[in-house]
Amino acid sequence: MLVKTFAIDHSGRGIAKVNGKIVFIKKALDNEEVEINLIDDKKNYAVGEVSKVIVKNIKRQKSICPYFAKCGGCDFLNLEYEAQLKYKYDKVVNIFKKYTDIDVIVNDVVENVDNLYYRNKATFKVDDKIGFYKEGTHDIIDIDTCYIVDKKINFILKIFREQINCDGICELVVRCSRYTNEIMVIIKIEKEIQLSSIVEKLHDLVDALFVKKNNTYRKIFGKDYIVENLGDMRFIISPSSFFQVNTDMALKLYEGILNVADLKGDENILDLYCGTGTIGLFLAKHCKYVLGSEINAAAISDANYNKRLNGITNIDFIVADGLKKIINKEFDVVVVDPPRSGLDKLTIRNIIALKPKKIIYTSCDVITLVRDINLLKEFYKIVSVTPFDLFSNTHHIECVCMMHRLDI
């Protein structure tokens, strides 16, 4: 079937209309004529995939990756980088326009200069193949290189493909540091497997090997964590802790947060969803005190280690679920960096009750960001929104939203 696309949706799919029905087309861009096969035909919409591009978007480029057409990992290796940034800028502006009545200033997207080989973490699915799921399925596409992960990760992938018997492994996670060159491998299994030959192959190549079974990590050899440098600071990353997947852009993001925070040195800051303490530790050097809070106890243990590693004393960390319980202390600034699901309503109510002068909301999902802003807008005005391209070649975008209390 031949269709004409007129836009790209928020998930990175081309949109066309066929007999009045919307069709979302994976890997198609806007302003194209493409031959498609329908892979799902629902009452109100359909989903297709491109079989042939007849008329190209002028910004279309040949994908560097031979798996791109089928793989579910990336969306935009077929689109020039500048055009990706424009798509992401428009996406943020349009979501704000569609879901709020607030006028916002959206700054230019902060670009990712090294937009290939940037990810410091990859999760490969394993059966008789190793790779990523085919778009929208649980079929694994066998790959030998991923063009958005660090080359050290591709090196480990090659070792597993060529030298390791992967029977019994269901997932292979490789994490690495960009600036200390350390590598951690995590093998996910459901039943115990013989590890001796894997240990033998990896022993001199990686810094740590863990097995993950029933959501529990067991160290097989090496360090308990790897270390990454961000500017002049150092951070440990243990197997279950969150760390931004794009090291260079994480530094730009944290510098961006520090910039909008405009600290004078006497502020008390609450850093919610603090992970390994990165944002709080960046801000601590410029304010009076930071309290970091996070649900994952292992991340809080890393955060306390990071505090000592960086010689920072004016910060404490606690394990807590959002801000479900009131903290008996005054905070001038509340920083939040929740997962994609955003903030829960009780946490929003309790942030409002704390009456911070500023809220800095970092989000990797513009829809939940805007949903939460709608609950804050009675008390806070948006001063700026800055998108950061942490996830180049995908449709995802990170945003930092600066809000000031309305009555000051």
Ligand X SMILES: C[S@@+](CC[C@H](N)C(=O)[O-])C[C@H]1O[C@@H](n2cnc3c(N)ncnc32)[C@H](O)[C@@H]1O
For the chain, first and last CA: distance in Å?
Answer: 58
Residue number with the smallest Cβ distance to ligand X? 275
One of 146, 166, 364, 401 is an active-site residue; which one? 364
Q: What is the DSSP letter of 20?
A: T
Which residue, 49 or 294, has its beta carbon nearer to ligand X? 294
CB of 56 to ligand X, least distance (A): 36
The span from the CA of 122 to the CA of 152, in Å, is: 11
Q: Which residues bind ligand X (CB under 6 A)?
A: 242-244, 273-276, 278-279, 294-296, 299, 321-322, 337-339
Contacts of 95 (CB under 8 A, 6+ apart): 10, 366, 367, 370
- At residue 381, the 3 state secondary structure works out as strand
The span from the CA of 361 to the CA of 338, in Å, is: 8
Q: What is the DSSP letter of 332?
A: S
Beta strands 33-41 and 45-55 are antiparallel
Picking from 164, 146, 178, the residue whose alpha carbon sits closest to that of residue 243 is 178
CB of 125 to ligand X, least distance (A): 22
CB of 233 to ligand X, least distance (A): 12
Which residue, 123 or 137, has its beta carbon nearer to ligand X? 123
Which residue, 224 or 344, has its beta carbon nearer to ligand X? 344
CB of 217 to ligand X, least distance (A): 15
- At residue 327, the 3 state secondary structure works out as coil
Residue labelled with tokens 């292992």: 298
CB 254 within 8 A of CB 286: no
CB of 320 to ligand X, least distance (A): 6
The span from the CA of 14 to the CA of 353, in Å, is: 43
Which residue, 5 or 350, has its beta carbon nearer to ligand X? 350
Residue labelled with tokens 């409002």: 352
CB 196 within 8 A of CB 188: no
CB atoms < 10 A from the CB of 114, how many? 12
Contacts of 4 (CB under 8 A, 6+ apart): 16, 32, 33
For the question of residue 364 being annotated catalytic, the response is: yes
DSSP track, 73-84? S-S-TTB-HHHH
CB of 179 to ligand X, least distance (A): 16
Which residue, 71 or 186, has its beta carbon nearer to ligand X? 186
Which residue, 122 or 202, has its beta carbon nearer to ligand X? 122
Hey, which residues are catalytic here? 364
